Amino acid sequence: MITIKKTALSLIINRFVLSLLLAFITTSLVIGQGSTPVKEVNKPVSGTYNSGTFLENQTVITNSAKCFELVINHRFGKLSDGSKEAWGIYSPSNIRFALNYSINDRLQLGVGATKFDKQTDLNLKWSFLQQTTNGKIPVSVTYYGSVMIDGRDTKSFDYANFKEAHRFSYFNEILISRRFCNAFNLQVAPTYVHYNATESASDTSSVRLRRNDNFGLSVLGKLNINSTYSLFVEYDHNFTLLYKKVSDVYKEAKPVIAIGIEKATASHSFQLFVTTGESINYQKNMVYNQNSFFDKDGKKSGLMIGFNITRVFY
- Which secondary-structure segment (H or E) carries 17? helix 2-35
**What is the per-residue pLDDT for 20?**
47
**What is the per-residue pLDDT for 210?**
87
**What is the per-residue pLDDT for 250?**
72
Give Rg (Cα) of the chain: 30
What gap in Å lies between CA 129 and CA 174, rounded to an integer? 11
**What is the per-residue pLDDT for 201?**
54
What gap in Å lies between CA 199 and CA 203, rounded to an integer? 9
Per-residue pLDDT of the chain (314 residues; tens, 9 = 90+): 333 444 554 555 455 545 544 544 554 444 445 445 555 567 889 888 999 999 999 999 999 999 999 999 999 999 999 999 999 999 999 999 999 999 999 999 999 999 999 999 999 999 999 999 988 999 999 999 999 999 999 888 877 788 999 999 999 999 999 999 989 999 999 999 999 988 765 554 556 788 999 999 999 999 999 989 999 999 999 999 988 776 666 788 999 999 999 999 989 999 999 999 999 999 999 999 999 999 887 788 999 999 999 999 98
**What is the per-residue pLDDT for 37?**
52
In this prediction the pTM is 0.83
**What is the per-residue pLDDT for 160?**
76
- Which residues, at least 6 apart from 111, have a Cβ–Cβ distance to it below 8 Å? 98, 99, 120, 121, 122, 123
The torsion angles phi and psi of 49, rounded to 5 degrees, stand at -135, 155
Sequence letter at residue 173: E
**What is the per-residue pLDDT for 5?**
44
Closest CA to 125 of 112, 108, 110, 140: 108
**What is the per-residue pLDDT for 8?**
52
Closest CA to 249 of 213, 210, 286, 277: 210
What are the b/e assignments for 46-67, b being 16+ CB within 10 Å? Answer: eebbbbbbbbbbbbbbbbeeeb
Sequence letter at residue 235: Y
Q: What angle do CA 190, 264, 70 make, to 5 degrees?
A: 70
3-state SS class at 266: coil
- Which secondary-structure segment (H or E) carries 150? strand 140-150
Separation in Å, CA 227 to CA 37, 131, 177, 224: 33, 20, 20, 7
- Which residues, at least 6 apart from 20, have a Cβ–Cβ distance to it below 8 Å? none
For the beta carbon of residue 255, count every other beta carbon within 10 angstroms: 20
CB 256 within 8 A of CB 266: no
Separation in Å, CA 31 to CA 17, 19, 134: 21, 18, 25
CA 109 to chain centre: 15
**What is the per-residue pLDDT for 40?**
58
**What is the per-residue pLDDT for 312?**
96
What gap in Å lies between CA 283 and CA 193, rounded to an integer? 6
Question: Which is the CATH superfamily of the domain at 53-313?
Answer: monomeric porin ompg (2.40.160.40)
CB 60 within 8 A of CB 141: yes
What gap in Å lies between CA 210 and CA 182, rounded to an integer? 43
